[in-house]
């Protein structure tokens, strides 16, 4: 037993002497022992032709190998390195190092980088270590090579562009940021983030047929020959892409190349037996540029494709190499048709129906209830009320649906309720709520004829009022997300335009269904109370929810643009009240008096105009106790550390979010649950336009906020929770994540 132990010690001592011996090799010794100098055993060459990516190649001599885990890269002055992309090596158990991966013959690595403005050289150090695997078996000490390489011409220009722009998302601070059309957009617009400039989608059309799609805004293009596709852990399968004809383009980096502008769809055939496979993991690496502007580093997107249903189960996006843990919060755009159109329509109908019970819709429903009570004695008028209200609801849903789908296809990150990210919309809606409240309080009467004697004019104004009420119901419904709506809207945002439009219209039918039923089912109409003097009192009482809604919108505006915005909208509210007061006084007066109404109305609009020019609030918010602000980097760090994470994507204008916070998340029970499970509560704020939050929403196929995702302790995909939380649901999810 002792001799065996002594033998092991002797062997280790021999290896140690060998390492010391090889640390200072001489040519005579190398020739005598048959060992090559380290730089000949592992010949390193470099390639900087691809902007933003350094490609390294090792030619490994026979009987030698390199350790994958011993490769290290350190940036020099003015250079920032991302995680290196290394291929999988041959796995085996090393007596001294344990389980390792090694490379034989050749190995290629890619190291994404960025350079600071003014940097002219790419400087970094590359460390590697390997061994001779036959007699004499010896391992070289770690060897470091210092690289000082010339940068591509446009890499320094890109660094200067990034320095001047601050961030790639600088142009997206407002939803309406314009994009110059056509390939000649050039440097006139700040470059978009990579995930928005190059949207990647993938789905299975058949067990052996895939369809890949890249979508670029105007002025961006994708290289055909810089695109590579591969399947992970799919031995025996091969991909055969059928590239469509592209455009010939004179590129400053690669000369005359084939590129694609706008959108390109790539059919891919899978060669091999896929009958036994339910899912495939596809990895696509590609590169593109802003025409006349920045060229992006190599991007890699990974997607899990369900071969049975065609759905994309999960995906991750990286710039350059794919990290061990997918960086949650980076945009991806899978075609997530996880349900059929029929199912999506049923869910939309149910979601629209439940939306009637949400607190954000209640103030407008109170207006409709009063109008139906006023017409309760006439079945014909009740039907007209219901039809015109439904027309307003459906028209509004159609406009919102078409706008969202169209803008998202152009590269904008939009979602349900995104219009409330715009201060002008929030301020205008607050004034509308105030005007409706004043009308219900009797301060002003809309729709009455001159001198209150023109009954025919009042009759004609009825349908217009019903239609406007339907429009208003949809606008104020957008901060709320009812159960069943999330899946339906996620389908609509990924489906073709016609299918998406059908889903939005079905949401509208669900929202309008109660009033349609009252209008067309006489038995239900007879259940309504008979009109009487009490209705005037009810109308005045229901004005107060309208005032509270206006107050809430002003509070949201303050969160977005600060105290100056609150002051402007309050001035607009006072001018609006003056306008309505004078409007009532001018009914029986001359043309000059009525012209003053128009003057006051224009003055009311002036403060709202300046709302759009206010910058976002930039002061750092006071951190909430026990809450971590969301960033993709922080989430990746926590997941690598094995920490369960509860991610909450919210907005101040989201009523459902606030209800969940009050009922579940801002409670002692939830804080105790976090402590018991060791989980971190991470919150992202989508009150204002935020491309990072929008990317996370896209990653989890969420049409808007709220979005709740629980990440388990030991890695794996995040679990998406319902938009309406309960304490038991959250407790179960976090308990499972901590196990």
CA dihedral sign, ordered 469, 470, 471, 477: positive
Query: Which residue among 611, 643, 668 closes a domain?
Result: 611
Q: 607 and 632, same structural domain? A: no
Number of domains in the chain: 4
Which string of DSSP letters, residue by residue, matches 633-658? HHHHHHHHTT--EEEEEE-TT-HHHH
Does residue 182 lie within any of the structural domains?
Answer: no
Secondary structure (3-state) at 283:
strand
Cα–Cα distance between 650 and 709 in angstroms, integer? 12
Q: 265 and 294, same structural domain? A: yes
Cα–Cα distance between 58 and 44 in angstroms, integer? 5
Does residue 169 lie within any of the structural domains?
Answer: no
Does residue 674 lie within any of the structural domains?
Answer: yes
Report the range of poorest mean pLDDT among 195-204, 248-257, 522-531: 522-531
Residues of the chain above pLDDT 90, percent:
16
Task: State the pLDDT confidence band at 128, using cuts at 50, 70 and 90.
Answer: very high
577-619 tens-digit pLDDT: 999 888 888 877 778 887 888 888 899 988 988 887 888 775 4
Q: What is the CATH number of the domain that holds 693?
A: 3.40.30.10
Q: What is residue 425's predicted lDDT score, i.e. its pLDDT? A: 86
Q: 733 and 700, same structural domain? A: yes
Cα–Cα distance between 96 and 98 in angstroms, integer? 6
Does residue 170 lie within any of the structural domains?
Answer: no
Does residue 696 lie within any of the structural domains?
Answer: yes
Nearest CA among 614, 687, 618 for reference residue 653: 687
Q: 558 and 429, same structural domain? A: yes
Cα–Cα distance between 207 and 196 in angstroms, integer? 29
Does residue 593 lie within any of the structural domains?
Answer: yes
Nearest CA among 338, 285, 351, 287 for reference residue 316: 285
| Burial label, 312 (beta-carbon count in 10 A; 0-12, 13-18, 19+) | buried
Query: Which residue among 584, 611, 638 closes a domain?
Result: 611
**Structural contact between residues 215 and 256, judged by C-beta atoms closer than 8 angstroms:** no
Please tell me the pTM assigned to this model: 0.48
504-550 tens-digit pLDDT: 899 999 998 988 888 888 777 677 666 667 777 877 887 888 888 88
CA dihedral sign, ordered 128, 132, 133, 139: negative
Q: 565 and 451, same structural domain? A: yes
Q: 258 and 120, same structural domain? A: no
Secondary structure (3-state) at 64:
strand
| Burial label, 198 (beta-carbon count in 10 A; 0-12, 13-18, 19+) | buried
Cα–Cα distance between 203 and 618 in angstroms, integer? 40
pLDDT at 568 over 90: yes
Domain span including residue 545: 341-611
Q: 359 and 304, same structural domain? A: no
Q: 639 and 593, same structural domain? A: no
Nearest CA among 181, 251, 684 for reference residue 411: 181
Q: 500 and 378, same structural domain? A: yes
Q: 204 and 125, same structural domain? A: no
431-477 tens-digit pLDDT: 988 888 888 888 877 643 333 333 333 333 467 778 888 888 887 77
What is the chain's Cα-based Rg?
Answer: 32
Does residue 186 lie within any of the structural domains?
Answer: no
Cα–Cα distance between 389 and 4 in angstroms, integer? 91
Q: 124 and 202, same structural domain? A: no
Query: Which residue among 319, 354, 374 closes a domain?
Result: 319
Q: 681 and 603, same structural domain? A: no
pLDDT at 46 over 80: yes
Does residue 175 lie within any of the structural domains?
Answer: no
CA dihedral sign, ordered 156, 157, 162, 165: positive
Cα–Cα distance between 82 and 671 in angstroms, integer? 36
């Amino acid at each position: 037993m002792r001799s065996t132990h002594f033998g092991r010690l002797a062997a280790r001592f021999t290896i140690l002497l060998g390492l010391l011996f090889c640390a200072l090799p001489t040519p005579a010794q190398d020739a005598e022992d048959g060992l090559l100098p380290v730089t000949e055993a592992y010949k390193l060459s470099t390639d900087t032709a691809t902007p933003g990516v350094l490609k390294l190649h090792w030619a490994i001599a026979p009987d030698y190998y390199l350790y994958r885990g011993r490769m290290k890269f350190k940036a020099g002055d003015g250079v920032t390195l991302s995680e290196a992309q290394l291929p999988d090596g041959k796995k085996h158990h090393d007596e001294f190092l344990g389980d390792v991966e090694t490379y034989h013959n050749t190995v290629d690595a890619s190291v994404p980088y960025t350079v600071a403005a003014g940097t002219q050289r790419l400087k970094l150090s590359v460390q590697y270590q390997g061994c001779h695997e036959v007699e004499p078996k010896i391992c070289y000490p770690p060897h470091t090579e210092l690289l000082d390489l010339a940068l591509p011409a446009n890499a320094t220009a890109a660094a200067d562009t990034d320095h001047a722009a601050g961030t790639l998302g600088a142009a997206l601070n407002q939803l309406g940021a314009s994009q110059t059309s056509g390939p000649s957009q050039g440097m006139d617009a700040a470059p978009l983030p990579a995930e928005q400039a190059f949207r990647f989608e993938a789905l299975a059309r058949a067990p052996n047929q895939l369809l890949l799609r890249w979508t670029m805004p105007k002025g961006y293009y994708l290289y055909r020959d810089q695109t590579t596709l591969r399947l992970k852990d799919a031995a025996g399968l091969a991909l055969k892409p059928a590239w469509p004809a592209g455009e010939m383009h004179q590129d400053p980096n690669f000369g005359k190349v084939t590129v694609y502008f706008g959108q390109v769809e790539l059919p891919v055939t899978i060669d091999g037996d896929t009958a036994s496979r339910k899912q495939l993991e596809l990895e696509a690496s590609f590169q593109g540029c802003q025409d006349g502007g920045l060229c992006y580093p190599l991007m890699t997107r990974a997607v899990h494709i369900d071969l049975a249903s065609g759905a994309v189960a999960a995906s991750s996006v990286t710039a350059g190499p794919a990290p061990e843990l997918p960086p949650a919060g980076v945009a991806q755009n899978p075609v997530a048709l996880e349900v059929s159109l029929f199912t999506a329509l049923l869910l939309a109908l149910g979601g629209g129906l439940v939306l009637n019970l949400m607190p954000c819709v209640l103030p407008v429903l109170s207006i409709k209830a009063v109008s139906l009570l006023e017409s309760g004695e006439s079945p014909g008028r009740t039907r007209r009320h219901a039809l015109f209200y439904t027309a307003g609801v459906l028209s509004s849903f159609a406009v919102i649906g078409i706008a969202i789908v169209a803008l998202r296809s152009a590269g904008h990150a939009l979602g349900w309720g995104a219009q409330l990210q715009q201060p002008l919309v929030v301020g205008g809606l607050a004034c509308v709520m105030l005007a409706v409240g004043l009308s219900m309080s009797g301060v002003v009467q809309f729709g009455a004829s001159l001198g209150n004697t023109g009954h025919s004019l009042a009759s004609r104004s009825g349908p217009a009022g019903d239609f406007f009420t339907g429009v208003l119901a949809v606008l104020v419904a957008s901060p709320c997300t009812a159960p069943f709506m999330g899946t339906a809207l996620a389908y609509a945002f990924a489906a073709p335009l016609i299918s998406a439009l059908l889903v939005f219209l079905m949401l509208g039918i669900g929202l309008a269904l109660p009033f349609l039923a009252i209008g067309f089912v006489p038995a239900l109409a007879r259940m309504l109370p008979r009109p009487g003097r009490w209705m005037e009192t009810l109308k005045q009482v229901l004005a107060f929810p309208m005032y509270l809604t206006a107050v809430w919108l002003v509070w949201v505006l303050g969160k977005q643009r600060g105290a100056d915005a609150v002051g402007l909208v309050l001035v607009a509210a006072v001018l609006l009240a003056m306008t309505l007061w004078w409007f009532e006084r001018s009914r029986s007066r001359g043309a000059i008096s009525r012209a003053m109404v128009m003057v006051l109305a224009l003055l009311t609009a002036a403060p709202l105009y300046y709302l759009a020019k206010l910058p976002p609030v930039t002061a750092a918010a006071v951190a909430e106790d026990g809450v971590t602000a969301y960033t993709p980097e922080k989430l990746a760090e926590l997941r690598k550390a094995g920490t369960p994470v509860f991610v909450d994507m919210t907005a101040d204008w989201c009523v459902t979010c606030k209800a969940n916070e009050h009922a579940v998340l801002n409670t002692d029970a939830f804080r105790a649950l976090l402590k018991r499970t060791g989980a971190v509560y991470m919150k992202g704020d989508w009150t204002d336009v935020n491309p990072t939050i929008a990317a996370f929403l896209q990653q989890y196929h969420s049409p808007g906020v709220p979005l709740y995702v629980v990440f388990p302790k030991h890695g794996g995909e995040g679990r998406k929770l319902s938009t309406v939380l309960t304490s038991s649901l959250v407790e179960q999810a976090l308990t499972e994540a901590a196990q």
